[in-house]
Amino acid sequence: MAVISVIGTGYVGLVTGTCLSDMGNQVTCIDIVEEKIEKLNNGILPIYEPGLEEMVERNVAAGRLHFTTSYAEGLKNAEFIFIAVNTPPSSVAGGADMRFVESAARMIAEELDHYAIIINKSTVPVGSGDIVSRIVRNNLKRPDVTFSVVSNPEFLREGDAIKDFQNPDRVVLGSSERDAAEKVARLYLPLRATIMITDIYTAEMIKYASNAFLATKISFINEIAQICERLGADVKEVANGMGYDRRIGRDFLDAGLGYGGSCFPKDVRALAHMADEAGLHPQMLHAVMEINHDQRRLVVNKLTDILGSLRGCVIGILGLAFKPNTDDMREAPSLDIIRWVTAQGATVRAYDPVARETAVEAMKLHSISLDNVTFCETAYDVAEGSDALVLVTHWNEFKSLNMQRIRESMRRPILIDGRNMYEPSEMTNCGFIYRGMGRGSGPAPTILPPGDTTSTLPSEPALSLTEGD
Ligand code: UDX
């Protein structure tokens, strides 16, 4: 089993370190923030990630997982050193801030007294592997020490991070030293995943291209949703119909409020920035970002279409986090929506199962006044006296709400479903004025199971299988 150190205890670092220790390796996680390490040593995690707390506890108890602020202690005997610090957006529009990666590289150089493989997991601009190499080489306290650099981009989704680590679609490794990449590959062998070894620039690019492609799928379906809405089609069924084509796939074709979070917005911007800097004009990436921004506005437009002025209205917000199963508020659509509706004179009642504290912090950070926002304990509290409800984050618990009770407690029965969570016909039958994102109101089509020849087709023409032309 390997001796590993992981620098950075954010989402990526903590999940990577914990999962590697769970595979039997000796792992020490290093972070410069003392408070974070102190809490981790007391079993308190800085993030909400399902299953992680138990896994940390288990591996700490087994003596395989340690936390420290000391690089000297953390790098002792380490054969593999993962850099998993964050690369926030830089002050240069669209760029990635490399400060934390660079300082991690310097700290490694100052403590390293034996050969180690330095593995970059942070999302860094293409070419950063060379920068890490150069910083370590130029700052080595013992110039006789050798090291290798490997890029190993992460593809973890928040909320599914452990599952994604343990069952990756692929592990990408990039290095100019094949031997080093193969040694890292051996760490991942127990996962029985597809492992791809390539050069460092390509590995770094795979991360950006993957995230940009997924963001493109989202903006594409959001544009289609707008067209569907105008022409009377239902984007959910359109996405299902498209998804049966294996070349397309159904994933990431959920129309809604667009993408948020710590990765997609930042990575698409950074990739466009790299291309701009290289003298290119990446038209598609710019369109993807523009559509994503406009998508949030649509919700406010839907509200004003029905309510006219929002002055004096009470708008209920269901869900604040950028997506379900996380308390992460980075680039969450709820922030823009709250800012815009309160700017128009509305007050907000909001509820999120876990993101209340992070939402307050995020609102302060983005100078959104808390004066006109009431945080509620349940979705039912939000509905009480509201003029409209906006479903912003599709937490599972919102699926099973008693919608009759919700409607009866509202001042006006307006439901804007920003994530297409509910069935339009059911909501209309329940008495709501319902607006989804690109959903027509035609009858639900019937899908026969593959190869089912015994089922009879319903007789209505709307349900017959139509031929494409
Ligand atoms: C993403 C990538 O999936 C992951 O591989 C990468 O390492 C980090 O960024 P994450 O940010 O955790 O992960 O969220 P993800 O589940 O991918 O969703 C991203 C955003 O897209 C969310 O705001 C989500 O609501 C939105 N989304 C996703 C849609 O709007 N429609 C979809 O069909 C899918």
Report which residue type is found at 463: L
Band of pLDDT at residue 365, cut at 50, 70 and 90:
very high
Question: What pLDDT does 57 receive?
Answer: 96
> Is 0.80 surpassed by the pTM of this model?
yes
Question: In this model, does residue 463 exceed pLDDT 70?
Answer: no
Question: In this model, does residue 128 exceed pLDDT 60?
Answer: yes
Please report which residue ranges of 122-247 form alpha helices under DSSP H: 128-139, 161-166, 178-188, 200-231, 235-243
Band of pLDDT at residue 449, cut at 50, 70 and 90:
low
Question: In this model, does residue 169 exceed pLDDT 70?
Answer: yes
Q: Are 172 and 210 in contact (CB under 8 A)?
A: no
Question: What pLDDT does 440 receive?
Answer: 73
Q: Are 315 and 303 in contact (CB under 8 A)?
A: yes
Residue 266 neighbours by CB distance under 10 Å: 23
Percent of the chain with pLDDT over 70: 94
| Mean pLDDT of the 101-119 span | 96
What is the Cβ-side half-sphere exposure of residue 227, based on CA atoms within 13 angstroms? 8
| Mean pLDDT of the 383-411 span | 97
Question: Above 0.95 for ipTM, yes or no?
Answer: yes
Which residues lie with the beta carbon below 6 Å from any ligand 1 atom?
154-158, 211, 214, 218, 252-254, 256, 258-261, 263-264, 322-323
DSSP assignment string, 188-210: HGGG---EEEE-HHHHHHHHHHH
| Mean pLDDT of the 100-118 span | 96
Strand partners, 434: 415
Residue 291 is inside which H or E element, if any? helix 283-307
The average confidence (pLDDT) of the chain is: 92
| Mean pLDDT of the 223-232 span | 95
Question: In this model, does residue 435 exceed pLDDT 70?
Answer: yes
SS3 227: helix
Question: In this model, does residue 444 exceed pLDDT 50?
Answer: no
Question: What pLDDT does 453 receive?
Answer: 40
Catalytic residue (choose from 19, 29, 263, 376): 263
| Mean pLDDT of the 125-142 span | 94
Q: Which CATH class is domain 211-435?
A: alpha beta
Distance of CA 431 to the CA centre of its chain: 34
Rounded-to-integer distance, Cα 124 and Cα 103, Å: 14
Question: In this model, does residue 141 exceed pLDDT 60?
Answer: yes
322 CA to middle of ligand 1, Å? 9
Atom of ligand 1 nearest to the CA of 393: 25
Query: Residues annotated as binding site for NAD(+)?
Result: 31, 36, 87, 123, 158, 266, 330
Pocket residue to mutate for ligand 1, from 47, 299, 323, 336, most atoms within 8 A of Cβ = 323
Question: What pLDDT does 91 receive?
Answer: 73
pLDDT tens-digit map of 289-325: 999 999 999 999 999 999 999 999 999 999 999 999 8
Band of pLDDT at residue 447, cut at 50, 70 and 90:
low
Question: What pLDDT does 87 receive?
Answer: 85
CA geometry: angle 102, 108, 110, nearest 5 deg = 105
Rg (CA), the chain: 25
| Protein residue with least CA distance to atom 32, ligand 1 | 252
- Structure tokens belonging to residue 242: 């498209």
Question: What pLDDT does 214 receive?
Answer: 98
Band of pLDDT at residue 442, cut at 50, 70 and 90:
very low
Q: Which residue has the tokens 């618990």?
A: 397
Question: What pLDDT does 459 receive?
Answer: 37
271 CA to middle of ligand 1, Å? 17
Question: In this model, does residue 431 exceed pLDDT 60?
Answer: yes
Question: For the chain, what are the domain ranges?
Answer: 3-198, 211-435
Question: What pLDDT does 456 receive?
Answer: 38
| Mean pLDDT of the 420-437 span | 96
49 CA to middle of ligand 1, Å? 15
DSSP assignment string, 83-137: E----PBPSSTT-B--HHHHHHHHHHHHH--S-EEEEE-S---TTHHHHHHHHHH
Q: Left (φ > 0), alpha (ψ -120 to 50) or beta: where does 117 sit?
A: beta
CATH architecture under which domain 3-198 falls: 3-Layer(aba) Sandwich (3.40)
| Protein residue with least CA distance to atom 7, ligand 1 | 155
| Mean pLDDT of the 193-221 span | 97
Question: What pLDDT does 47 receive?
Answer: 86
Question: In this model, does residue 185 exceed pLDDT 60?
Answer: yes
What is the Cβ-side half-sphere exposure of residue 282, based on CA atoms within 13 angstroms? 20
Pocket residue to mutate for ligand 1, from 157, 250, 251, 337, most atoms within 8 A of Cβ = 157
Question: In this model, does residue 37 exceed pLDDT 70?
Answer: yes
Active site residue 376: no
Question: In this model, does residue 93 exceed pLDDT 90?
Answer: no
Rounded-to-integer distance, Cα 443 and Cα 402, Å: 23
